[in-house]
Amino acid sequence: MIKIGIIGGSGLDNPDILKNPSHLEVKTPYGDPSSPLTCGDISGVPVAILARHGKNHSIYPSGVNFRANISALKEYGCTHILAATAVGSLREEIEPGHLVFPSQFIDFTRKREVTFHDKGEVVHTPMAHPFCPNLRALYAESAKSLGLDYHDNKTVITIEGPRFSTQAESHMFRGFGADIINMSTVPEVILARELNMHYASVAMSTDYDCWREEEEPVTWEMILNTMKNNADKVINLFTNVIPKVAEYSDVCKG
């Protein structure tokens, strides 16, 4: 049975998108998740929404219990995860307000629990293609039909935070080949892959980081404002994609 987990960032944990919403407290072997699960359905498909940074955005990026979050969705029975994340753009063509569907990540974090396999048998999880290609294809198909500006097959680099990059770091990340930057994709995507869940991100570009010298340096207020003005794009995309995941679940085995 298909069950969809939505991991939302700021402004994207709205229960109003669900039919018959209810709240479920889930305990995991890794502690408490960032929030209770808000459960319901979209177009008849069971959905559970989890607020990555807590309901009041009270958990800083490196303080997120990613293992508990992914474990909670797995225990609820989620087979797919649609993750929303705010990102800074490292490329001129990725403008604020555009959506990005990354296919690769670069891990620039240093102090997070990045695996479920830290005890017992050593397991080496393949990670050549970390994001589900079938979900990404559905994102692109839906974004095109909705008339949204989007970019596919891009690379996200995840840093610790909560501070933003220096200008030197921002130029370095561009040199690495990264297209967007955030503080949340790693280890979220890694842990989902370890539990054989189909995971794909919808990244919303909120700013140009600080590499573009003619732009004002990024601030949290700038990010919140862009997210508030564009959150409906991500919600519309998710509500468009979810019935397609259920309808074409036989293709979502990548």
| Catalytically active residues, by annotation | 207, 209
CA distance 113 to 94: 30
Q: How many residues does the chain have?
A: 254
For residue 63, what are its two tokens? 């303080």
Phi, psi for 90 (deg, rounded to 5): -110, 10
| Phi-psi region at 11: left, alpha or beta (left = phi > 0; alpha = psi -120 to 50) | left
Least Cα distance to 70 among 158, 180, 159, 185 occurs for 185
Number of other CB atoms surrounding residue 163 within 10 Å: 9
* Contact by Cβ (8 Å): 115, 194: yes
Question: N- to C-terminal Cα distance for the chain?
Answer: 17
CA distance 192 to 70: 6
Residues with Cβ < 8 Å from 206, sequence gap 6 or more?
A: 86, 87, 88, 96, 218, 222, 223, 226, 227
